[in-house]
């Protein structure tokens, strides 16, 4: 199923059709353990940075499923690819990053269509992830994804349900000119 999901993810549009996304399936137990330690260190640092009230709320949130997820997938961007011949990203280099994010979003939708849950873990030190996964030096870390069947299904986002951040109404987000 993962191969099928990645086939779908790579149908995402990309600037100049450069397809700058690179994926790493992380199965090795020692590397997974290093990622978990990386998360624990970053999460402790984040917790220490909040005021007391926010920290006590933060501490109740479930912010990863690294031990439970059967599939760990890291996503990188290949900064050195010449594919696409610079079309579009000569003027806006950031469109390469946007292209990778579109592949991640496509993967997310495909996973949900297969009744899988996907979590994006960003409470990680990107340089350490690069080292742990031993990827080419021209790749830059974009996302660490956990995939698996979720224990619970909800209509509302977890952070809304736990009172961390409410959803905005559209009138706050759209300007008319």
Ligand X SMILES: Cc1cc2nc3c(=O)[nH]c(=O)nc-3n(C[C@H](O)[C@H](O)[C@H](O)COP(=O)(O)O)c2cc1C
What are the C-alpha distances in Å from 43 to residues 40, 47, 158?
5, 6, 18
| Strand-pair category, 71-78 with 117-121 | unpaired
Rounded to a whole number of angstroms, the minimum distance from the CB of residue 66 to ligand X is 10
- Does position 40 interact with ligand X (CB under 6 A)? The reply is no
Residue 24 or 104 having the CB closest to ligand X: 104
Give the Å distances, CA to CA, from 94 to 7, 20, 79, 122, 176: 24, 12, 11, 19, 26
For residue 159, give both structure tokens: 């952070």
- Residue 149 interacting with ligand X (CB under 6 A): no
- Asked if 20 touches ligand X (CB under 6 A), the answer is no
Q: Which of residues 57-116 bind ligand X (CB under 6 A)?
A: 63-64
Taking the least distance from each CB to ligand X, the nearer of 115 and 177 is 115
Residue (of 154, 149, 144) closest to 35 by Cα position: 144
Does position 50 bind ligand X by CB under 6 A?
A: no
Q: Is 118 or 133 the residue whose CB approaches ligand X more closely?
A: 118
Residues at the contact surface with ligand X, assessed by CB under 6 A: 63-64, 118-123, 157-159
């Amino acid at each position: 199923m993962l191969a099928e999901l990645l086939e779908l993810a790579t149908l995402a549009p990309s600037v100049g059709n450069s397809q700058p996304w690179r994926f790493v399936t992380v199965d090795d137990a020692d590397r997974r353990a290093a990622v978990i330690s990386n998360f624990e260190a970053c999460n402790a640092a984040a917790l220490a940075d909040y005021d007391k009230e926010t920290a006590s709320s933060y501490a109740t949130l479930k912010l990863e499923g690294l031990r439970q997820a059967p599939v760990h997938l890291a996503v990188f961007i290949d900064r050195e690819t010449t594919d696409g011949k610079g079309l579009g990203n000569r003027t806006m280099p950031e469109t390469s990053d946007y292209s990778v994010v579109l592949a991640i979003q496509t993967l997310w939708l495909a996973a949900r269509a297969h009744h899988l849950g996907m979590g994006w873990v960003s409470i990680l030190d990107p340089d350490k992830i690069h080292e742990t996964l031993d990827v080419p030096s021209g790749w830059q870390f974009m996302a660490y994804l956990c995939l698996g069947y979720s224990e619970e299904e909800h209509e509302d986002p977890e952070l809304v349900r736990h009172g961390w951040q409410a959803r905005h109404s559209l009138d706050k987000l759209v300007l008319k000119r």
